[in-house]
Amino acid sequence: MRTVSLRERSARLREQIAENRLPILLLGPSFLSILLILWLPFLNGVRISFYDWPLGGDPAWIGSANYVELLSDERFITSLQATAWYMTTTAFQLILGLAAALGVYQMKRFQNVIGASYMLGYTLPPVIIGALWKYILDPRYGPFFGYLRVLGVVEGPVFWSIDGTISLAAITGVMSWTIWPFMFLVLFASRQGIPDSYYEAAKVYGAGGWARFRRITLPQLKSAILVVVALRVIWNLSEVSQPLTLTGGGPGYDTSILGIFLYRLLIQANLGLASASGVILFAISLIGVVLFFRSYSQEVEF
């Protein structure tokens, strides 16, 4: 191996900087903000997770004690289970978004109006979604259980907020209601990109509706589906304002999905334990990241 003197190396670096002064200047602010506001705090969070760190108090290094405490904490286990159930929302979002994309594509008129109406819930602030649904699902005067009473499905008010299972179903349902239009937006755009000639050719060969869906639509949408699912796995994990407003993470910790669990620890000013649960959340969301890059790099050249 040829040795390169320090001076030589620094001269070459200086030359490279001089040659690329414009891109460095233009990209500088973007890179600095991503580094300083995203990666630096994240790394700091990983560090904090090894400390007993009361907000505003004196931190003390305690090694992996936070992780040990979390994993032996029943509330954390409850939270993990809640998260697993809650993440089924991604599937509901996909089914609704895909149905809407294929449905709207069949329409000859009013595509824009219908598509725009879908965005109503998606653009409202998450806290407001939570508040609206809290009224709609109110056991005594909300219309949801009101109609169920009229239909004879339930008798009398259902005080669901003390029932962990119904509460979990409620936050999963509300989240699905809120987010599926995002899936619609992406999948509708991809559906528009499938050439009609594919379907015409399939018809010539006698393919029925179901066969055309399975053999043309699904494979053509595959990479778009993988991309939105991966993105939503990550974002559903960290978008917690709707369920937080709706249930506050209760009863007990039954609807404290990981993001809410983390929030509750922060409110209690327990920064160390919150960061440790954040690192675990990050590890889980890496599944989504891997899925994303595998599907995204198939489609797009970096």
82 binds another protein (CB under 8 A): no
Q: Which is nearer to another protein, 208 or 219 (CB)?
A: 208
243 binds another protein (CB under 8 A): no
250 binds another protein (CB under 8 A): yes
**Least distance (Å) from another protein to the CB of residue 259?**
5
206 binds another protein (CB under 8 A): no
CA distance 296 to 102: 22
Among 50, 118, 160, 253, binds another protein (CB under 8 A): 118
Using the contact rule CB under 8 A, the part of the chain among 73-81, 84-92, 219-227, 275-283 near another protein is 275-283
226 by Cβ neighbours in 10 Å (0-12 / 13-18 / 19+) ranks as middle
CA-wise closest residue to 229 among 166, 288, 149: 288
Alpha helices for the chain (secondary structure H): 6-19, 21-34, 40-48, 65-71, 74-86, 89-106, 111-123, 126-136, 143-150, 164-192, 196-204, 209-212, 218-238, 241-247, 258-267, 271-299
Q: What does the chain come to in residues? A: 302
207 by Cβ neighbours in 10 Å (0-12 / 13-18 / 19+) ranks as middle
**What number of chain residues touch another protein (CB under 8 A)?**
94
135 binds another protein (CB under 8 A): yes
262 binds another protein (CB under 8 A): yes
182 binds another protein (CB under 8 A): no
Q: Which is nearer to another protein, 81 or 121 (CB)?
A: 121
Point out which residues pair with 51 in neighbouring strands.
61
Instruction: Annotate 242-277 with b (16+ C-beta within 10 A) or e (fewer).
Output: bbbbbbbbebebbbbbbbbbbbbbbeeebbbbbbbb
Give Cα 128 distance to the centre of its chain.
18
**Least distance (Å) from another protein to the CB of residue 6?**
21
**Least distance (Å) from another protein to the CB of residue 300?**
10
Yes or no: say if 217 and 102 are a contact pair by the CB < 8 Å rule: yes
226 binds another protein (CB under 8 A): no
302 binds another protein (CB under 8 A): yes
Among 50, 182, 253, 292, binds another protein (CB under 8 A): 292
CA distance 195 to 60: 62
**Least distance (Å) from another protein to the CB of residue 74?**
22
95 binds another protein (CB under 8 A): no
For 125, phi then psi, to 5°, come to: -60, 140
220 binds another protein (CB under 8 A): no
**Least distance (Å) from another protein to the CB of residue 80?**
15
Residues 6+ apart with CB under 8 A from 95: none
**C-alpha atoms less than 13 angstroms from C-alpha of 234 in its C-beta half-sphere:** 16
User: Which residues 4-63 are close enough to bind another protein by CB under 8 A?
Assistant: 16, 20, 22-27, 29-31, 33-34, 37-39, 41-42, 44-45, 48, 53, 55-56
User: Which residues 139-178 are close enough to bind another protein by CB under 8 A?
Assistant: 140-141, 143, 146-147, 150, 157, 177
234 binds another protein (CB under 8 A): yes
Among 63, 152, 206, 209, binds another protein (CB under 8 A): 209
Torsion sign (Cα): 146, 149, 155, 160: negative
Among 73, 134, 166, 194, binds another protein (CB under 8 A): 134
